[in-house]
């Protein structure tokens, strides 16, 4: 048995972890753009990366260390993704770390921002030399990694085990646009003082990603830099695999929900629950199709209970379905019931009320089996277009 308690604060609450963020001159507006995570003891590190075929230079640099290595330092910049930068992109990371005299053990870089520009290493080195490795300023770090994010994304938990020992775990993340099934332009750094072994970290990341980060969508795009990383320094000595898997799922789900709620310009979060599909796989296909559909997203933005778009999107996903079996509900308001149109003015008004909320469920009962999957999406409005029409400037 174990107990998981949410606690306040940033990852700097965790024994042995230090962090901060500064303005190094990458963002023109003076906001923080460079941050670090430092551990007083080298950490076991596990990460999962984007499935985009053009992995950015920092990802390739990380993978050069091989499996199950230890690190004490992660350097993170925004405004420049160091992606599509060829071999030079990796060489720039090595050059940069060679100029930092921090007693670094296998230092890791992580980047987010515009693709296809050379990394401004002079600015980054000059900035990093101003770091105080004894800082505990999670707030500054969380702001340094933001791009189009409207707010910083963090969470913290303490896990008490049956023997009275405990460990802490928390995350700092960024991600608002380009968020998609199969990761997205999102960076998520999860720190813990649990003595978690590499194999458990990787197992937990893989198992949990399907129902957390891979279940959310803002705009269906997948970036070159997506990273979810776990750093475990073992300072607490406490560890329990079951508890670790469970709390890591919570942390990943929290971060995923914060990202989808911050979908560029988004005001609404919809949980698309597809149930009773022929298989879980088919339920997932339909649920992700719903969370990615532009017509569905714009209807949510318009608070319009246009259930025809929901049904059409399920049909367009090509899963096994039959309109004589399909039931569609907005929360508990049934709008389509097995081929019967039950959408009179009363029902429409009730459904419209559901869509006025910030969060709601759209439940699609396929009626053909027991497969289920929930995907999370947001609305898409004018603000998304405004943000993305000229993101670079």
Cβ-based nearer residue to a copy of itself, 6 or 302: 302
Please give the span between the terminal C-alpha atoms of the chain, in angstroms, as a whole number: 52
**Cβ(275)–Cβ(363) under 8 Å?**
yes
* Annotated binding-site residue? 298: no
**What is the helix (H) or strand (E) element at residue 389, kind and residue range?**
helix 382-389
* Interface map 323-352 toward a copy of itself (x if CB under 8 A): xx-----------x--xxx-x---------
Query: Is there a catalytic annotation at residue 185?
Result: yes
Is 319 among the residues that bind a copy of itself (CB under 8 A)? yes
Residue 63 is a binding residue for a copy of itself (CB under 8 A): no
Candidates 171, 321, 347, 354: give the one binding a copy of itself (CB under 8 A).
321
Strands 227-232 and 187-192: parallel
Order of strands, sheet of 340-341, starting from the edge strand that comes earlier in the sequence: 216-217, 371-378, 269-277, 359-365, 327-330, 333-337, 340-341
Residue 393 assigned as binding residue:
yes
In the DSSP assignment, the letter for residue 351 is H
In the bound state with a copy of itself, the residue whose beta carbon lies nearer, of 137 and 292, is: 292
Told to check if 235 binds a copy of itself by CB under 8 A, we report no
43 binds a copy of itself (CB under 8 A): no
Identify the burial level of 332 via C-beta atoms within 10 angstroms of its C-beta, where 0-12 means exposed, 13-18 middle and 19 or more buried. exposed
Task: Candidates 52, 77, 82, 233: give the one binding a copy of itself (CB under 8 A).
Answer: 52
**Is-contact 9 19, C-beta < 8 A?**
no
Kindly state the smallest distance separating residue 348's Cβ from a copy of itself, in Å.
10
* DSSP code for 91: H
Exactly one of 279, 312, 331, 374 binds a copy of itself (CB under 8 A); which one? 312
The response to whether 154 counts as a known ligand-binding position is no
The answer to whether the beta carbons of residues 36 and 186 sit under 8 Å apart is no
DSSP code at position 65: T
The single residue among 29, 53, 103, 345 that binds a copy of itself, judged by CB under 8 A, is 53
Determine which helix (DSSP H) or strand (DSSP E) holds 378, and give its type and residue range: strand 371-378
The yes or no reply on residue 306 touching a copy of itself (CB under 8 A) is: yes
Query: For the chain, what is the largest distance between any 2 Cα atoms, rounded to a whole number of angstroms?
Result: 71
388 annotated to bind ligand: yes
Rg of the chain's alpha carbons, rounded to an integer?
22
Q: Are 190 and 169 in contact (CB under 8 A)?
A: yes
Q: Is 264 annotated as a binding residue?
A: yes
* Residue from 219, 240, 254, 365 binding a copy of itself (CB under 8 A): 219
Q: Report how far residue 192's alpha carbon sits from residue 45's, in angstroms, rounded to the nearest whole number.
A: 10
Flag whether 136 is marked binding: no
Taking CB under 8 A as the binding criterion, the range among 29-37, 120-128, 286-294, 370-378 that sits at the site for a copy of itself is: 286-294
Per DSSP, the residues of 229-288 read EEEE--TT----HHHHHHHHHHHHHHHHHHHHHTSTT---EEEEEEEEESSHHHHHHHHH
Cα 167 to Cα 327: distance, rounded to the nearest angstrom: 45
Candidates 14, 24, 83, 204; binder of a copy of itself (CB under 8 A) is: 83
Q: Is 90 in the site for a copy of itself (CB under 8 A)?
A: no
Say how many residues touch a copy of itself, by CB under 8 A. 69
Structure tokens at 80: 């420049």
44, 154, 185, 212: the catalytic one is 185
61: its two tokens: 């640099």
**Which is nearest to 17 in space by CA: 198, 171, 241?**
171
- Residue 392 CB, nearest approach to a copy of itself (Å): 6
Among 9, 25, 315, 367, the residue binding a copy of itself under the rule CB under 8 A is 315
If the CB atoms of residues 239 and 330 are measured against a copy of itself, the closer one turns out to be 330
Whichever of 142 and 293 has its CB closer to a copy of itself, that residue is 293
Binding of residue 246 to a copy of itself (CB under 8 A):
no
- C-alpha angle with apex 355: 350 to 361, nearest 5 degrees? 95
Q: Give the footprint of a copy of itself on residues 97-156 (CB under 8 A).
A: 114-118
Using the minimum distance from each CB to a copy of itself, give the nearer residue, 178 or 256.
178
Binding site feature residues: 147, 174, 185, 264, 388, 393
Where on the chain is the footprint of a copy of itself (CB under 8 A)? 51-55, 81, 83-88, 114-118, 177-178, 180, 219-224, 292-295, 298-299, 301-302, 304, 306-309, 311-321, 323-324, 336, 339-341, 343, 380-382, 384-386, 388-393
Binding site feature residues for substrate: 147, 174, 185, 264, 388, 393
Which residues does the annotation mark as catalytic?
185
């Amino acid at each position: 048995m174990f107990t998981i308690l949410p606690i306040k604060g940033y990852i700097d609450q965790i024994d042995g972890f230090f962090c901060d963020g500064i303005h190094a001159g990458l963002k023109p507006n003076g906001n923080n753009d460079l941050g670090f995570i430092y551990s007083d003891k080298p950490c076991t590190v596990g990460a999962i990366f984007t499935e985009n075929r053009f992995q950015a230079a920092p990802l390739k640099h990380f993978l050069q260390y091989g499996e199950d290595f230890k690190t004490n330092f992660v350097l993170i910049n925004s405004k420049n993704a160091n992606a599509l930068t060829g071999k030079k992109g990796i060489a720039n990371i090595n050059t940069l770390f060679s100029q930092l005299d921090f007693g670094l053990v296998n230092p890791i870089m992580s980047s987010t921002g515009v693709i296809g520009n050379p990394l401004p290493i002079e600015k980054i080195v000059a900035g990093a030399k101003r770091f105080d490795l004894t800082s505990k300023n999670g707030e500054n770090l969380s702001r340094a990694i933001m791009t189009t994010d409207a707010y910083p994304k963090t969470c913290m938990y303490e896990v008490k085990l049956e023997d009275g020992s405990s460990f802490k775990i928390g995350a700092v993340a960024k991600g608002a646009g380009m968020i998609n099934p199969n990761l997205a332009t999102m960076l998520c750094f999860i720190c813990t003082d649990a003595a978690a072994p590499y194999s458990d970290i990787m197992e937990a990341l893989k198992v949990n990603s399907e129902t957390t980060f891979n279940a959310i969508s803002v705009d269906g795009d997948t970036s070159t830099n997506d990273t979810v990383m776990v750093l475990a320094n073992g300072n607490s000595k406490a560890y329990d695999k079951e508890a670790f898997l469970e709390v890591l799922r919570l942390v990943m789900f929290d971060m995923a929900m914060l990202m989808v709620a911050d979908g560029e310009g988004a005001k609404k979060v919809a949980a698309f629950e597809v149930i009773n599909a022929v298989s879980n796989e088919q339920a997932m296909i339909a649920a992700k199709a719903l969370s990615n559909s532009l017509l569905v997203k714009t209807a949510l933005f318009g608070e319009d209970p246009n259930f025809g778009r929901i049904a059409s999107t399920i049909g367009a996903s090509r899963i096994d379905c039959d309109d004589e079996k399909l039931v569609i509900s907005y929360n508990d308001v049934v709008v389509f019931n097995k081929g019967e149109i039950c959408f009179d003015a009363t029902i429409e008004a009730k459904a419209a009320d559901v869509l006025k909320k910030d969060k709601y469920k759209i439940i699609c009962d396929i009626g053909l089996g027991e497969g289920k999957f929930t995907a999370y999406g947001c609305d898409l409005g004018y603000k998304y277009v405004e943000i993305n029409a000229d993101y670079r400037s």
